Structure 1
């Protein structure tokens, strides 16, 4: 892919083939038409995109990336369709809508990078890093924030997480088009949201539904997240001020790898285990369905 390939390609492959379908399986109804088919087919739909990563930039790599981009567009179109069904602007729901749209940003960046086209004037290395960013910060982190917000029944910290993670992700994207200071502002908001996710995750670890293995996964995801977001804030501050800061390659090897494997994979595995262990009659609230506790009079 680029000089960053040793870190970026495996990370993005995991994001496409495993993180997205695993996360989609945690999103419950109401689902728009075509949701189940898209969710079940996602590992196959992701294969062209993953294959494109391992090829040199070429027409073939671009065509494979475009196939994946079309799949991400189909997923993004589920967001407005879902909004029509739920008619909800609750923080947890806004987080899941952000998650559904984010892979499309990654898909567009992937097509441009594979075609060696500096989309909007961005360097190819930056386009390459946009792909994992919108699979993990955009999709995985927003989805986990929404899951935690629902589990906490919209507490203040949970609402902060569910709103700050999507807002920070979008602000970082906007910063690409403005300047390094705007990107720093986005990094601050995103870091605040991720810190809230880490705190909520540690609280979740103490829940009665969490077995020993699940507790370990939750603890790892929370602690890794605190470290990786501190690195992200350091990098953004250095870019804006000129102070010494890590290189992109070093960030990919630490921040990127940590967010992908230490946070996203561990968090999704933990939430999948929590979902599987919850009795049907007392299942924890899920994204998309109002919690009975939220319907009690104040």
Structure 2
């Protein structure tokens, strides 16, 4: 197992065990039947997926990945169920719905990668990187974009809520087309992330009532700008041939920073906002996972 594999697997486990259930606990509005049991059981449902990451590619690893993929599919089915309850396609709601679907893409990629099957012609390294991408850019970033956009009705909020999921989808479609299409997706995604950063800094000023929460919001906003510039640089280099970091170094810098510096810090901050009775935050006060 390479150093990159160890890094990617460790990051994916954070996404599986903590990011997904913590993010789900921050979603307000009507909850379809099965939402709370699924959220509470998620760390247990993530165990087969985590085991599959560390086992050699084999039938056993594929079966374990398949069990996790079924859990991600159950989460994806919460999206149409929620839509039937909310009957809303507001930008913030679109971001939340896309977040619910994103882990299923990661689950499918994990099954294919563990089975040594080049799904849609993608090599195994790309499939392996798709797993963290759709836990963090697909799920966490879209969810945070939806949450921050609920505190504002301005253009930046709508831009963030729509362009983060759209950019993630365009990057995925770019894999099927060419490097220029992938670059276009990276531009859209970076634009949306920049809007998230601006809104997060506004939240830091207007909503955060303590130093730690303000610090977490600041770190998540500033790290987000740096990591997305790295991703944009890589996509530009792939399309034009300009010098850029290798895929390994991009995963180690952009990927790790996006996961820990942005997603984890952003969700920790919003968890604090949601449970602080003195905070003026507009986020829901929901039961949070232990």
TM-score by length of 2: 0.95
| Contact 2:230/2:254 (<8 A) preserved | yes
List alignment gaps of at least 5 residues for structure 2.
286-290
Which residue number corresponds to residue 284 of structure 1?
A: 282
- 1:31-70 to structure 2, matched below 5 A, reads 31-70=31-70
The alignment partner of 1:206 has SS state of: helix
| Contact 1:22/1:268 (<8 A) preserved | yes
Quote how far apart the aligned CAs of 1:210 are: 3.0
| Contact 1:106/1:131 (<8 A) preserved | yes
Give the Cα–Cα distance (whole angstroms) in 1 for the partners of residues 25 and 283 of structure 2. 14
Stretch moving more, 172-181 or 3-12: 3-12
Which residue number corresponds to residue 251 of structure 2?
A: 252
- 1:102-181 to structure 2, matched below 5 A, reads 102-152=102-152, 154-181=153-180
| Contact 1:209/1:277 (<8 A) preserved | no
Q: Which whole-Å deviations, capped at 9, do the CAs of 1:130-161 have from their partners, x for residues lacking one?
A: 00110000000000001100122x22101100
List alignment gaps of at least 5 residues for structure 1.
288-298
Moved over 2 A (4+): 1-4
Give the Cα–Cα distance (whole angstroms) in 2 for the partners of residues 4 and 116 of structure 1. 18
The alignment's C-alpha RMSD in Å is: 1.5
TM-score by length of 1: 0.93
| Contact 2:105/2:134 (<8 A) preserved | yes
> Compared with structure 1, are the counterparts of its residues 133 and 208 closer, same or farther at alpha carbon in structure 2 (3 Å cutoff)?
closer
The alignment partner of 1:127 has SS state of: helix
Q: Which whole-Å deviations, capped at 9, do the CAs of 1:172-206 have from their partners, x for residues lacking one?
A: 01111111111000000000000011111111111
Give the Cα–Cα distance (whole angstroms) in 2 for the partners of residues 157 and 230 of structure 1. 19
The alignment partner of 1:151 has SS state of: coil
Quote how far apart the aligned CAs of 1:29 are: 2.5
How many residues align structurally?
285
